[in-house]
């Protein structure tokens, strides 16, 4: 008989191999045989999710009894309402510590922490309350009062200070996506970070995490609407507005925040002359493994942020086709799933698992993410995995475990994948615009 420990190991191994999120990998491993339904903790149902922003809002609306005219407001549909997909690439260089950091954006307005959620609730006509309390004590009191009133709150804590991601000190203050705080007891706050079992944080740690990042210090979003259905005409307008904004956004000319970002990145991966070309920036190979790992973690859902979300967008298109009575939208969904496969191929190329050290890095990353999904019960396992993970990454900080020939092949392969992704997404966006009559 398969033990719980063996099952977890198999799920995490699949996550490392396929890049899937915990819930998806688990469903494949168990085939639904052990599916007993979602866990309910302190009256809150842990439904999981993919994208931090829309999963948080979808789970809050489900808890508050807010639906569409014909059923739940699902994460894929809300993802479209908020503007859907994005495209972003930036390579930061920091002189103070010789840091080279790759930043990827896969969602609309990814560079603004609150814009997608603000847009989504506005388009749906929801009654919400935003709070941006400056002082930590006042912010803690506001959250305590909110939870005491049985109202869940969407908050933006720094991941390092949350603790359960077990990040190293040099990531202190790097921020993170939103989570839902839904209950407090015994000096700990229960949070929903797309986990499937209860996950709690000491209240003082959560207070520090909320106050750490200046640009969104102590921000809190509370949905006041309850037990209501968004009218059909408003939902249709919201979905169409989100799709039209996505087409306009992706079709822009920015080489950092629209589809041209992929074409630029493709060229920079192999250009030794450009100031931001990878052969030049990483000529000494220092920090290159971190950059490659950032690509894998950013693209694959097995990372902290939900991945490229092209599959989520495809699901949203199928649901939008029903809401808008536009079958042509559903016909575009397979195209975006093919693009999702292209992104997976890029991630596989960036971090090839036939190299033992890299395979171990992927396994440890998936173990941490999977143990977060398992809630407090996974604390010891994720702490041990994170300790080994960051030790391994430090061991190869000066050079990835790839010889010169293999490294050149990795960068060339990534470049080729990105060029093809750019062309495929440009065509898909044009077709989507045509389906919307734009």
pLDDT digits (tens, 9 = 90+) for 272-285: 999 999 999 999 99
Contacts of residue 345, Cβ cutoff 8 Å, sequence gap at least 6: 417
Mean pLDDT calculated for residue range 336-357: 98
Q: Residue 379 in 3-state DSSP?
A: helix
Residues 129 and 154: their CA atoms lie apart, in Å, by 11
The pair of three-digit structure tokens given for residue 90, joined into one six-digit string:
């930036």
- The predicted model scores a pTM of 0.96
- 75-98 tens-digit pLDDT: 999 999 999 999 999 999 987 777
- 225-278 tens-digit pLDDT: 999 999 999 999 999 999 999 999 999 999 999 999 999 999 999 999 999 999
Q: How many CB atoms lie within 10 A of CB 416?
A: 16
- What one-character DSSP code corresponds to residue 403? -
Whether the predicted pLDDT of 1 surpasses 50: no
Mean pLDDT of all residues belonging to the chain? 95
How do strand 85-94 and strand 44-46 relate by DSSP bridges?
A: unpaired
The structure tokens 């999981």 sit at 48
Q: How many CB atoms lie within 10 A of CB 436?
A: 17
Q: Which range among 26-40, 71-85, 135-149 shows the weakest confidence by mean pLDDT?
A: 26-40
Mean pLDDT calculated for residue range 343-350: 98
The structure tokens 């991966």 sit at 269
pLDDT given for residue 2 in this prediction: 56
pLDDT given for residue 415 in this prediction: 98
The structure tokens 């009133």 sit at 149
- Domains annotated for the chain, with CATH where assigned, are 48-68+128-224 (3.90.70.30)
How far, in Å, are 103, 242, 289, 330, 397 from residue 98 at the CA level?
A: 16, 40, 14, 47, 12
In sequence order, the β-bridge partners of residue 180 are 154, 192
Residues 424 and 250: their CA atoms lie apart, in Å, by 12
pLDDT given for residue 32 in this prediction: 58
CA 224 to chain centre: 25
Q: Are 60 and 212 in contact (CB under 8 A)?
A: no
Q: Which range among 23-32, 294-303, 329-338, 362-371 shows the weakest confidence by mean pLDDT?
A: 23-32
């Amino acid at each position: 008989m398969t033990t719980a420990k063996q099952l977890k190991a198999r799920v995490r191994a699949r996550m490392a191999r396929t890049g899937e999120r915990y819930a998806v990998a688990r469903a494949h491993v168990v085939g639904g045989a052990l599916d007993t339904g979602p866990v309910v903790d302190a009256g809150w149902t842990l439904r999981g999710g993919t994208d931090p922003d829309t999963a948080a809002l979808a789970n809050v609306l489900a808890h508050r009894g807010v639906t569409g005219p014909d059923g739940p407001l699902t994460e894929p549909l809300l993802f479209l309402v908020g503007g859907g997909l994005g495209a972003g690439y930036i390579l930061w260089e920091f002189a103070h510590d010789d840091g080279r950091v790759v930043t990827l954006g896969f969602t609309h307005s990814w560079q603004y922490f609150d814009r997608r959620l603000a847009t989504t609730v506005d388009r749906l006509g929801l009654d919400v309350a935003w709070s941006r309390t400056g002082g930590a004590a006042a912010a803690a009191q506001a959250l305590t009062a909110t939870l005491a009133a049985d109202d869940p709150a969407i908050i933006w804590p720094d991941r390092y200070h949350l603790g359960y991601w077990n990040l190293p000190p040099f990531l202190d203050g790097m921020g993170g996506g939103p989570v839902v705080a839904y209950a407090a007891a015994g000096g700990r706050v229960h949070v929903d970070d797309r986990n499937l079992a209860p996950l709690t944080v000491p209240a003082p740690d959560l207070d520090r995490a909320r106050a750490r990042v200046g640009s969104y210090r102590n921000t809190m979003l509370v949905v006041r609407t309850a037990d209501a259905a968004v009218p059909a005409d408003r939902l249709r307008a919201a979905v169409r507005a989100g799709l039209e904004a996505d087409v306009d956004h992706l079709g822009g000319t920015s080489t950092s925040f629209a589809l041209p970002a992929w074409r630029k990145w493709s060229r920079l991966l192999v250009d030794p002359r450009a100031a931001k070309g990878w052969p030049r920036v990483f000529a000494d190979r220092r920090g290159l493994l971190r950059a490659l790992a950032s690509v894998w973690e950013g693209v694959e859902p097995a990372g902290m942020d939900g991945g490229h979300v092209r599959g989520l967008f495809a699901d949203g298109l199928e649901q939008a086709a029903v809401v808008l009575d536009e079958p042509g939208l559903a016909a575009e969904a397979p195209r975006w799933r093919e693009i999702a496969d292209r992104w997976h191929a890029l991630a596989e190329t960036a971090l090839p698992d036939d190299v033992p050290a890299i395979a171990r890095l992927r396994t440890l990353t998936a173990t941490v993410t999977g143990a977060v999904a398992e809630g407090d019960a996974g604390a010891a396992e994720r702490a041990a995995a994170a300790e080994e993970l960051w030790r391994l990454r430090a061991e190869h900080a000066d050079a990835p475990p790839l010889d010169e020939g293999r490294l050149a092949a990795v960068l060339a392969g990534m470049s080729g994948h990105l060029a093809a992704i750019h062309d495929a997404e440009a065509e898909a966006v044009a077709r989507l615009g045509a389906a919307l009559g734009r």
